Amino acid sequence: MKRRRYMTAAQVEQARRRLRLARSRVLTVTRLALIALAIEAVAAALTSPRFAVKGVALEGAGALTQEYALRTVAPAVGGNYFLAPCGKLRDRLESHPAIRQAAVVRRLDGRLSVRVKERSPYVCVLWKGSFYTLDREMVPFVRAAVRDRSLPLIDAPAAGSPKMGRPWSSAYLEAALKCLEEARKSDLKVSQVSIDPAGEMCLNIVNGTKIRAGYPQDIEEKISVASRVLASLPVPLNTILYVDVSYPGAPAYRPKGSDGATAVQ
């Protein structure tokens, strides 16, 4: 009978080391293989024509911005889907004065989804012979030689210089917009607000009557008084030249063809 040979403690430890080394080598080779496969996959994803941007889905762009939006994102079409510079494209779109907000995202069908939110026209401002269309945030986004008559006009020659796409900082314009808001609350259809260099305001009502409001202080009360006066006059409004509420506690009106104003009782 053969005698069994037992390994010494040193031999056992040496065998264990060899096994750990073999396992480590296998793991290293496996990891390197996986890294190589990942690199190949990434390279294929970034270079294969199968992952090219196939087109653009544009939403929200109107006549003012559609051509610009398509021209801005066109260079990305045909480029790599994963490398499409969505953030830069969004910033370029939002640099257009008429675009209030934009978003560019990748779609699962290989196209870029471009959503544009245009500024809404709120008022027209006459400044140095040009007409500027502003939104509610006082941002000019259209400059034209002809007035848009669907919007109320603000004539404020002392207003500061405008910058397209940026809020127009002007105390005159802020006063005029406040006046328009109060007039709308009182259902007064204002076609024009004029402010002279001294800061006194005059409103032209659609029916041809004018409201002399004076300085913008207490404009809420002045517009409210003007609305009550116009509603209570015993003559047609188209026969009234103006209503004066510069001093809301003592309003007056002047009929056309008369020599002076008449106090409202």
pLDDT per residue as tens digits for the range 51-65: 789 999 999 999 999
- What pLDDT, on a 0 to 100 scale, did the predictor assign at position 262? 79
Give per-residue pLDDT as tens, 116-150.
999 999 999 999 899 999 999 999 999 999 999 99
pTM: 0.76
Which is nearest to 225 in space by CA: 244, 241, 208?
A: 244
- What pLDDT, on a 0 to 100 scale, did the predictor assign at position 144? 95
Spatial separation of the C-alpha atoms in residues 252 and 242, rounded to whole Å:
9
Q: Is 107 helix (H, G, I), strand (E, B) or coil?
A: coil
Q: Hey, where are the domains in the chain?
A: 52-118, 123-263
Which is nearest to 245 in space by CA: 174, 172, 188?
A: 188
Please tell me the class of the 123-263 domain: alpha beta
From residue 166, how far is each of 71, 134, 141, 153 by CA, in Å?
Answer: 23, 10, 8, 19
Tell the CATH superfamily of the 52-118 domain. membrane protein fhac (3.10.20.310)
- By DSSP bridging, strand 262-263 and strand 252-255 are antiparallel
- What pLDDT, on a 0 to 100 scale, did the predictor assign at position 134? 95
Which range is least confidently modeled, 159-163, 191-195, 200-204, 247-251? 159-163
DSSP-based helix, strand, coil % in the chain, nearest 5: 35, 25, 40
Spatial separation of the C-alpha atoms in residues 101 and 186, rounded to whole Å:
32
Q: Compute the half-sphere exposure of residue 48: CA atoms within 13 Å on the CB side of its CA.
A: 8
81 — pLDDT class (breaks 50, 70, 90)? confident
